[in-house]
Homo-oligomer: A and B are copies of this chain.
């Protein structure tokens, strides 16, 4: 039973829950998630609702019905709700500042974490990168002790937004980030796309790491190749796929 959003069409909410549940399972199936280390959410700004994975629930027994519904500030909207993922405040902050982002995914996928732990941006070494990320995948600055102790999860969102704003990076053109010492967040216009971007980020992270081992010069892709591959798949002149 809904507390504050009785007005939401139950079918719309149930569909959101189903998609978010499915996205969380897809993360595990793609081997991006070990134990319960990952979460996916979706926002519907018009309805004022976010749906997110519950905290610490094993994927094997998790049901669509257990997905947690909150308002746009992260307040629970259903009675008898489970506790939401502890990373919810990060998701909330991203939804507030990235207007075109409708879904967020967080994992501890191996290769992305290795880069996050090294504190480095992932350079665009190839077209696999450029097909999805239009430039380096940025790594956030370290949070201060005060940020960590006061509102850690929200400020994780804050340093992400800060990095994109200061660097004038379009979050849809670079749909992912590394939070230093922690791991990747990705996003997209749909939760399926956010999951796909999480898969790509980890693959690209793996490739980039050993590209550096093979060639100490670390030449990145020429900018005209970056342009070509990104715009082959995105924007008005895209010609990849059936769309």
Contacts and interface: CB of A to CB of B under 8 A. Distances in A.
Interface residues on A, range: 35 or more
Contacts of A37: 128, 131
A111 B209 CA distance: 11
A35, A127, A131, A181 pick with most chain B CB within 10 angstroms = A181
Contacts of A143: 225
B210 A34 contact: no
The count of identical subunits is 4
A61 to B, nearest CB: 12
B203 A34 contact: yes
Given A113-B207, A128-B113, A149-B228, A86 B181 contact: no
A9 to B, nearest CB: 28
B54 A242 contact: yes
B214 A209 contact: yes
A82 to B, nearest CB: 6
B183 A239 contact: no
A95 to B, nearest CB: 21
A103 to B, nearest CB: 17
Max chain B Cβ within 10 angstroms of own Cβ: one of A111, A131, A182: A182
Contact of A126 (B111, B127, B183, B212): B183
Interface string A169-213: 000000000000111000000000000100110010011111111
A142 interface: yes
20 contacts: A34-B199, A55-B240, A55-B242, A56-B241, A82-B242, A86-B240, A108-B128, A110-B206, A110-B207, A113-B207, A117-B207, A117-B211, A118-B211, A120-B214, A127-B183, A128-B183, A145-B224, A148-B224, A152-B232, A209-B213
